[in-house]
Structure 1
Amino acid sequence: MTATPDILCIGSVMWDIIGRAPVEMRAGMDVPGRITRLPGGVAANIAMTLARIGLKPAVLTAIGRDAEGEDLIAASQARGMITEYAHRPEGLPTDRYMAVEGANGLIAAVADAHTLEACGAAILAPLADGRLGSAARPWAGPVAVDGNLTVALLSEIAGSPLFAAADLRLAPASPGKAERLRVLLGHPGATFYLNREEAGKIAGVAVRTAAEGAEAVRALGAARVLVTDGAGACADGSAEGVIVAVPPPVTVRRVTGAGDTFMAAHLVAERSGAGRRLALEHALAAAADYISGDVGT
């Protein structure tokens, strides 16, 4: 029997194919390194972090019925994800993400989330048909939503009674998709997790610091905004004001998934009763551990 989930992670669950080299890189370089294939995608990265600390996350996503999809289901379950609510379309391939990272960070990446985008609202069916909730009795727990969803589906989520009682935690997936989240700016239960560039994209202005980014997005109607800035200070902006904290210095061994780890750790800290500052510091420490950790996990 499947365990009852503690949290829902809605969005991308795909294969991450990451090439990493221990040297600084630039466009056109060909260097030795390591290539890994692991379950990834924003929703999956958040879910895996939650599972590692003992929670039971369920993913609402689209995973193909091809061989890669079957492998991904098995690998996801092995890492603690509840996958029985995932939509499994016929005739569509399992999504993939490919990135190249060097000692100087992410060099380039391509995200192929076309199957997730094509399936649209079908991935939300368990929230409407009684398996996880309904319009009359909506899911009342935390929900992590990522920006790999289409603007149309994010707009539906923004006004849907299925999410009226949810604690929404929003991650844009990439700066290029950050503007998709604008449709959720007015949702009273939404918390945005952004990097400085993403905050600028949503606000439509250049921001020099995380605190400026948090204030700019708050000014557009967001109830709460957390903004990271790499090794720089991170900010948490809400109706109570803006607080900042500086991440611990680390040696960078990987970057893909760091923001998702930050978000998951912050959510868990708050769920455990931590105040704003303690939750922020806990999330920064967890992201630092991830960035400096074993690239094969």
Structure 2
Amino acid sequence: MTDAQRTTPDILCIGSVLWDIIGRAPNHMRVGADVPGRITRLPGGVAMNIAMTLRRFGMHPALLTAIGKDEEGRELLAACARMGMITKHVYLSEDLPTDCYMAVEGGNGLVAAIADAHSLEAAGDKILSPLSDGRLGTAQAPYDGIVALDGNLTESLLTQITHSPLFARADLRVAPASPGKAERLMPFLEGGRATLYVNLEEAGLMCQREFSSARDGAAALIARGARRVLVTDGGKSAAFADDVLIFDEQPPPVLVTRITGAGDTFMAAHIVAEAGGADPKDALSAALQAAAAYVSGEVP
């Protein structure tokens, strides 16, 4: 069976699939700056960015998301299919527009961003129907593979997922969509059922304190009830922790050419490494290498 014919996923990516509209300029920017640069529109969203990296490493993700039946949605669905995503489980809405994300990046990193994921939030648990109606599982025979989940879902739906029998056997991997949505992941501290991928700011928001290192943030999240965590701190360090291990590692030094999608690339590469049998230290190293290649522009 060719990749184009494949319809059985080896991982589910649940969350935002939308259009990324990114403006990039090579020089440092401040609020109010008006500079020349490049503007691109590409498929994006946390779930989509993770899925794209998974495909690059040979996995076959299925998307569970909401996409509008508008022109933007038809284009986006076609683009996802061309990239090898399994799209037959996507919830297609007659009345909700396709979501989008807009960001401005300068030589000094991300300047500002706005995420419009209101349609995904409005669709709610409709996007999870394939997990209960027999297409991917049922409450009696739940899906037992890897699930990459993002924090663009509402807090009530994320809370529902932590207790739902539909996810009782799943290997849950969860990331916030942004620091502003980090606190939506609090139910996963109480449930202790997932691997969390957060940056240092997000770890601080979840623990309601500031941390000086990724390692400190990871230790605090485990103390708060998390099962497994990975905490990144840009180019400084990244840490892994569970109830037995805790360690950190420095990422490779690279020239940063882009920011948006780096955390999603890190998460996807870590999932691929562990799915391939890598131990925790090797999996962290592989994720850091992949993220470094992404932000340097080495990966198209």
The residue number in structure 1 matching 2:77 is 73
The residue number in structure 2 matching 1:82 is 86
Q: 1:152-171 alignment to 2 at 5 Å?
A: 152-171=156-175
The residue number in structure 1 matching 2:246 is 242
The residue number in structure 2 matching 1:60 is 64
Q: CA–CA distance in 2 between the matches of 1:19 and 1:95?
A: 18
Which structure 1 segments of 5+ residues have no match? none
Is the CA contact (8 Å cut-off) linking 2:258 and 2:295 kept in structure 1?
Answer: yes
Q: Match of 2:39, SS? A: strand
Q: CA–CA distance in 2 between the matches of 1:279 and 1:186?
A: 26
Q: CA–CA distance in 1 between the matches of 2:257 and 2:87?
A: 29
Match of 2:257 among 242, 245, 253: 253
Q: CA–CA distance in 2 between the matches of 1:79 and 1:189?
A: 31
The residue number in structure 2 matching 1:33 is 37
Q: What letter corresponds to residue 75 of structure 1 in structure 2?
A: A
Deviations 1:250-272 (A, max 9, x none): 11111100000000000110111
Match of 1:22 among 20, 23, 26: 26
Q: Indicate whether 1:111 and 2:129 are aligned.
A: no
Q: 1:118-267 alignment to 2 at 5 Å?
A: 118-267=122-271
The residue number in structure 2 matching 1:284 is 288
Q: What letter corresponds to residue 232 of structure 1 in structure 2?
A: K
Q: What letter corresponds to residue 78 of structure 2 in structure 1?
A: A
Q: What letter corresponds to residue 270 of structure 1 in structure 2?
A: E
Q: What letter corresponds to residue 128 of structure 2 in structure 1?
A: L
Q: What letter corresponds to residue 193 of structure 2 in structure 1?
A: G
Deviations 1:259-292 (A, max 9, x none): 0000000011011111111100000000000001
1:2 positional shift: 4.6
Question: RMSD value over aligned CA atoms?
Answer: 1.0
The residue number in structure 2 matching 1:4 is 8
Q: TM-score, normalised by structure 1?
A: 0.98
Q: CA–CA distance in 2 between the matches of 1:80 and 1:184?
A: 30
Q: Match of 1:32, SS? A: coil
Q: CA–CA distance in 2 between the matches of 1:179 and 1:66?
A: 32
Q: CA–CA distance in 1 between the matches of 2:193 and 2:271?
A: 13
Which structure 2 segments of 5+ residues have no match? none
Is the CA contact (8 Å cut-off) linking 1:253 and 1:294 kept in structure 2?
Answer: no
Is the CA contact (8 Å cut-off) linking 1:171 and 1:194 kept in structure 2?
Answer: yes
Match of 1:45 among 44, 49, 58: 49
Is the CA contact (8 Å cut-off) linking 2:193 and 2:226 kept in structure 1?
Answer: no
Deviations 1:56-80 (A, max 9, x none): 1001000000000000001111112
Is the CA contact (8 Å cut-off) linking 2:22 and 2:103 kept in structure 1?
Answer: yes
1:240 positional shift: 1.5
1:15 positional shift: 0.1
Q: CA–CA distance in 1 between the matches of 2:261 and 2:85?
A: 16
4+ long deviations beyond 2 Å = 186-189
Q: What letter corresponds to residue 223 of structure 1 in structure 2?
A: R
Is the CA contact (8 Å cut-off) linking 1:8 and 1:142 kept in structure 2?
Answer: yes
1:31 positional shift: 0.6
Q: What letter corresponds to residue 87 of structure 2 in structure 1?
A: T
Is the CA contact (8 Å cut-off) linking 1:52 and 1:80 kept in structure 2?
Answer: no
1:294 positional shift: 5.4
1:189 positional shift: 3.2
Q: Identity percentage over the alignment?
A: 62
1:199 positional shift: 0.3
Q: What letter corresponds to residue 46 of structure 1 in structure 2?
A: I
